[in-house]
Amino acid sequence: MLFPEVPVTMRFASTAISIFLISARTTAFGLAKQPARGASAFSSRRRSQHSIVQTLGSVLSQQCPSNIYNYRGGAMLSTSTASSAVVPTSTALNSAVTDETQTAPTEIFRKDYQPLPFTVATVNMDFNIQDSKTVVTTELTLMTNPAAANVESKELVLDGDETCVKLLSLSMDGKDLTEGIDYTLAPGKLTILKPAAGSVISTKVELIPQENTQLSGLYKSGPMYCTQCEAMGFRRITYYPDRPDNMAVFERVRIEANAKEYPVLLSNGNLLEEGEVDGGERRYAIWSDPFPKPSYLFAAVAGNLGSIADSYTTTSGRNVKLQLYSEFANVDKLAYAMDSLKRSMKWDEDRFNLEYDLGVYNIVAVDSFNMGAMENKGLNVFNTAYVLADEKTATDVDFERVEGVIGELTF
């Protein structure tokens, strides 16, 4: 994984971890080359490991500013110097459970798996991106899960990370819900006590993406907003049954942001509508994905990007619009990735008789993306290290890497 544009405190930590890993590998390699010497060899190895840990702690304490310890789950607990914007306060329904949140990871066992009594059939989302915060409004339409006929509990548990998701409102079928009567809150969970098939659960939450140091969910890195939802990042965007056995149709995703700073607004699926509001100061785009998908494959991008365009005609004769986005300085290095994409789509058809099912295929390749690559349906997102290739200077290895990564995520 690459972290090219993370906050400076994270880069310090990354440097320290790199030193730790290199030292650990060097120590292990050196010990492996030596013949075993019983207890003395074991003691020597333990002393070496202890020394490595001490080195890591020393580097962290010396290089990381003290306010790195103010972060918890991606939300600042005190005033941050990372952003000068003043964030207005809002009353949160889930504020009481924030202090109860456990920082230690929770073990999840397969034996504890239970099917959801209700699943989400369709999702409507609205992202209102402002300088200081982002407000996400979501509507979830429920349906009965046939696989849960033998499940005793009929309550619906929605996952949500209260350390970065501030719950502003909650309603079902247009009626505001009351805590303790209609729902309960616990760290990481919102439980709807009496859901019904066909009901629409509506939530409004507030996020601060520029303070999302986990780089999971919706975060701002460099000059753009991006999402990373695998494996459990969607719960850091809104309350939702964030598990892969809930396949839902994201029938409408609306993104709105400053028109000058974020003219490119992308999400999964097909583009339904785009335009300007507020006298041209803000821009919006509405996307729809007609095919069910798990929440970890959801994606959204907002930024100022250059692009190249092409098209691909499927075996059945459908025309698919292909669009590759990157920073303006890197647009001239996208051509080979476009060729690789078309070859990958053709290979899927020839090998497996699988046609691409949407009308548009978008790829975003930017320095700001924290992962190497992510196979979000209809909107693949890459770090530039895996996609760019200058035909004048790239080696055969570079071209093979681009072809391989594009082919993997397309498949």
Structure confidence by residue, pLDDT tens digits, 188-233: 999 999 999 999 999 999 999 999 999 999 999 989 999 999 999 9
More confident residue, 141 or 67: 141
**Closest among 206, 127, 209, 135 to 167, alpha carbons compared:** 206
Q: Which domain holds residue 337?
A: 306-410
Q: At residue 393, does pLDDT exceed 60? A: yes
- What is the full DSSP assignment across 31-47? HHHSPP-HHHHHHHHHH
Torsion of CA 345, 388, 369, 310, to 10 degrees: -40
Q: At residue 404, does pLDDT exceed 60? A: yes
More confident residue, 383 or 2: 383
Q: How confident is the model at residue 370 (pLDDT cuts 50, 70, 90)?
A: confident
**Closest among 254, 283, 256 to 269, alpha carbons compared:** 254
**How far are the Cα atoms of 37, 239, 265, 338 from residue 232, in angstroms, in the given order?**
45, 12, 23, 30
Could you tell me if 175 and 235 lie in one domain?
A: yes
Could you tell me if 150 and 252 lie in one domain?
A: yes
Q: Is residue 294 part of a domain?
A: no
Nearest 5°: the CA angle 190, 196, 197 is 115
User: How many CA atoms does the CB half-sphere of 357 hold within 13 Å?
Assistant: 11
Could you tell me if 13 and 66 lie in one domain?
A: yes
Predicted confidence at residue 147, as pLDDT, reads 94
Q: At residue 47, does pLDDT exceed 50? A: no
Q: Is residue 100 part of a domain?
A: no
Could you tell me if 118 and 263 lie in one domain?
A: yes
Could you tell me if 183 and 259 lie in one domain?
A: yes
- CA 347, CA 334: separation in Å to the nearest integer? 20
Could you tell me if 120 and 253 lie in one domain?
A: yes
Could you tell me if 257 and 161 lie in one domain?
A: yes
Could you tell me if 240 and 335 lie in one domain?
A: no
Could you tell me if 258 and 125 lie in one domain?
A: yes
Q: Domain with 373 in it: what CATH number?
A: 3.30.2010.30
Could you tell me if 214 and 283 lie in one domain?
A: yes
- End of a domain among 17, 42, 71? 71
Could you tell me if 384 and 315 lie in one domain?
A: yes
Q: Note if the bond before 257 is cis, omega within 30 degrees.
A: no
Q: Is residue 96 part of a domain?
A: no
Predicted confidence at residue 89, as pLDDT, reads 59
Tally the domains of the chain.
3
- CA 182, CA 192: separation in Å to the nearest integer? 6
Residue % of the chain over a pLDDT of 70: 77
Give 157-180 pLDDT, tens digit per residue. Answer: 999 999 999 999 999 999 999 999
Nearest 5°: the CA angle 137, 70, 65 is 130
Q: Domain with 215 in it: what CATH number?
A: 2.60.40.1730
Average pLDDT of the residues of the chain: 83
